[in-house]
Amino acid sequence: MLVVITPCSSVTAELARLADCFVPEFWVTSYPPTVPDAGAGLHCVVGFIAGEAAVDAAAMRQSEVVRKALDQLDAMFREADVAFQTP
């Protein structure tokens, strides 16, 4: 599960099914801001991998799975010239 706390104006979907991708399904739940004038709320993103792909992902290092999932989300929702960066 990933919680996005920075504004993501391009996250408008509730479900994305991507059969040929590393994470074939993402569910997105958006929450309104909890503080007045806070701007965007939070987006909770949950990815689902099943079957043999899940077995393969389970054999990978956690950091590699996270990186591949974030790269996929970045490709899907990236603002025109802003790429996701990890610390």
Q: Is there a domain that residue 5 lies in?
A: no
Domain total in the chain: 1
**CB 8, CB 15: distance < 8 Å:** no
10 lies in a domain? no
What's the average pLDDT block by block, 10 residues per block, for the chain (87 residues)? 51 70 86 74 83 94 92 77 54
| Residue 73: inside a domain | yes
In a domain, 8, yes or no: no
The predicted structure's pLDDT at residue 87: 46
Which runs of consecutive H residues, i.e. helices, occur in the chain? 51-58, 62-77
**CB-based contact 13:19 (threshold 8 Å):** no
Q: Is 51 helix (H, G, I), strand (E, B) or coil?
A: helix
**72 lies in some domain:** yes
Please give the residue range of the domain that contains residue 64. Answer: 16-33+42-77
The answer to whether position 83 is within a domain reads: no
- Burial (CB < 10 A; 0-12, 13-18, 19+), residue 40, is middle
